[in-house]
Chain A
Amino acid sequence: MRALTWHGKHDVRVDTVDDPEILNPRDAIIKITSTAICGSDLHLYDGYIPTMQAGDILGHEFMGEVVEVGAKSTLQKGQRVVVPFTIACGSCYHCGKHQYSACDNGLPADNQDIGQEMYGQPMSGLFGYSHLTGGYAGGQAEYVRVPFSDVGPIIIPDGVEDEKVLFLSDILPTGWMAAENADIEPGDTVAVWGCGPVGLFAVQSAFLMGAERVIAIDHFPHRLELAKKFGAETINFEETATYEALLQMTGGIGPDAVIDAVGLEAHGFFVDNVIDQIKASTFLGTDRIHSIRQAIIACRKGGRVSMPAVYGGFVDKFPLGAFMEKGLTLKTGQTHVQHYMPALLNAIMENKIDTTFLISHTLGLEDAPQGYKMFHDNQNEVTKVVLKPGLALAAE
């Protein structure tokens, strides 16, 4: 089959590789119909995530048709499914509590050493996201092997186009969980850093959960425009001093809840960010954390911090004092996708949530390297790239 593979920083290619096979009783093989490039994939593309190996197949947002099933899979050939990016067993203690991204059994036994060393505990497996998260082949390919197919994939009713449901795989539940983790109360003002897919879904979700105002922060005019469409007020951090603006816009109080939907590659010429960049490039520290610092400083006393953004290693100058003195609460984590999928599918079917607005580009799988480059170089206009293995090469 053809698959998008990682070969190094800013080097991804479409290679021919062996087709996946059923290896365990609960496996299924899915023929991919649509798969998206995620903001998280850019961290891989930029070489920020350790334990990548040349030839790894990327992609953790995908859906398709069931073409083969193991003896214990509950899926049937021909069904259309969206697959959660977290690989979870459904039968361990954490899965029982719906903490799917903390599943004990999603990772191969030997891969669990890295997480145990780095984080004190191994987490669930993830598709297409380094050997730290299992080394599972991702879905930016013609076919993918899906473990635990009896608990993960959600079946999509006929007649619903891919574009409406594809984002159930990651970013829609992630934006939703980000808002949920902000413990929004009626009348609250919520500030969201980052108007990428995660931030934009967090904006929509925050309103659905009763936020009175949402203030969205980014520097890409087009992305801010999208946030405005969903009713958010906006701050362009290149034009405006974010902290001062947030204080005035909230009568000096600060937002009741803040959401960091940026992550370890924060943009901007801020002093702390530049120092972080130098450290990251010399491996002295790994993560650039400008947005979470600013979110903590801006948050009102006793407020809530939600951090869907991904961080992987150690950070410098985390404002622990402000965090403690103001009595803030922080909730974070990889999304428990399986927990949110059924309710969010319903919300889509009832037209309460729209996801299609996000897709700016649709390409064939063979054009995937181009898709990565576009998404990386032009984040203003390129909000989401969807790859369709069935689509022919774009005309030259």
Chain B
Amino acid sequence: MGDGLDAADDAPLATSKHEFAAAEAVAGTLPGAKGATLTSRAVTINRPSADLFAYWRDFSNLPSFMDNVERIDVISSTRSHWVVKAPAGKTVEWDAVITEEVEGELIAWSSQEGADVPNSGRIEFRDAGARGTVVIVTILYDPPAGFIGKVVAKMFQREPAIQARGDLRRFKQLMETGEIATASRTRAQLEAEQN
């Protein structure tokens, strides 16, 4: 057996059992790739791709469903500054630049020098006919502080892969239902849940 990818099948790279080789292969397809840990996820959203693309492309919208994002400052049409919650009340920050964009279909980004969490990735919007749009997110990142950081982050639901999973579900809820589901009974509970 080699490092695995030579016997490749048709499955998405992020589902490969050969994590390092898969991350490297994805990095090869991303301009300015940053990060060595790969995660990806697909979700089908019952809305036209143009609507989803437009909402996502306006980065100031993203904190409405990205739980961990404290704020995103839009600096120019391709550059933004991200402030993201980290475990133990800390925050991590980086500048992201759009490296590729196909209207209605694809946005790729990469973090710039000095990022606390070097990362890059792409989001694709593929027309799925009567089912709406398949949204596929692929992210490469370096976990906050090595492996230990990843374990701790996981406990706090701040691990980027877990976070991406929740964010995509909330994005789907917002786009399909106009709101984000909560089981809270009172406003005070809802606020506690959101912190």
A contacts, CB < 8 Å to B: 17-21, 23-26, 57, 72, 89-93, 96, 104-113, 125, 134-137, 145, 147-148
Contacts and interface: CB of A to CB of B under 8 A. Distances in A.
Interface stretch (B49-57, B81-89, B118-126, B166-174): B166-174
B157 A92 contact: no
Nearest to A113: B165
B183 A92 contact: no
B68 to A, nearest CB: 12
Nearest to A20: B185
Contact of B179 (A25, A112, A136): A25
A26 B181 contact: no
Contacts of B166: 109-110
Most buried by A among B166, B184, B185: B185
B112 interface: no
Given A91-B176, A105-B172, A109-B180, 7 more contacts: A18-B185, A21-B186, A57-B185, A72-B178, A89-B177, A125-B183, A147-B181
B191 to A, nearest CB: 10
Nearest to B170: A109
B74 to A, nearest CB: 25
Most buried by B among A105, A113, A145: A105
Contact of B172 (A19, A72, A104, A113): A104
A165 B108 CA distance: 54
B99 interface: no
Contacts of A107: 181
A135 B170 CA distance: 17
Contacts of B185: 17-18, 20-21, 57, 137, 145
A96 B46 contact: yes
Interface string B150-175: 00000001000000011101101100
Contacts of A112: 169
B46 A93 contact: yes
A136 B182 CA distance: 8
A58 to B, nearest CB: 13
B190 A91 contact: no
Nearest to A116: B165
Contact of A23 (B44, B169, B182): B182
Contacts of B173: 89, 105, 109
B104 interface: no
Nearest to B167: A109
Contact of A26 (B170, B179, B183, B188): B179
Most buried by B among A25, A92, A108, A109: A109
A104 B132 CA distance: 14
Contacts of A93: 44, 46, 131-132
Contacts, number: 81
B90 interface: no
Which 10 interchain pairs have the tightest Cβ spacing? A109-B169, A24-B179, A135-B183, A89-B177, A109-B166, A20-B185, A136-B183, A105-B173, A137-B185, A91-B176
5 contacts: A21-B186, A23-B184, A89-B176, A93-B132, A137-B183
A91 B182 contact: no
Contacts of A106: 181
Nearest to A25: B179
Contacts of B184: 23
B176 A104 contact: yes
Contact of B182 (A24, A92, A96): A24
B105 to A, nearest CB: 21
A25 B181 contact: no
A137 B186 CA distance: 11
A215 B152 CA distance: 57
Most buried by A among B167, B169, B177, B190: B177
B177 A109 contact: no
B177 to A, nearest CB: 4
B188 A18 contact: yes
Contact of B190 (A23, A25, A72, A136): A23
Contact of B183 (A17, A21, A108, A113): A108
Most buried by B among A21, A57, A148: A21
Contacts of B187: 21, 23
A91 B47 CA distance: 10
A105 B190 CA distance: 17
Interface in B44-70: 44, 46
A25 B132 contact: no
A130 to B, nearest CB: 11
Contact of A105 (B132, B167, B181, B186): B181
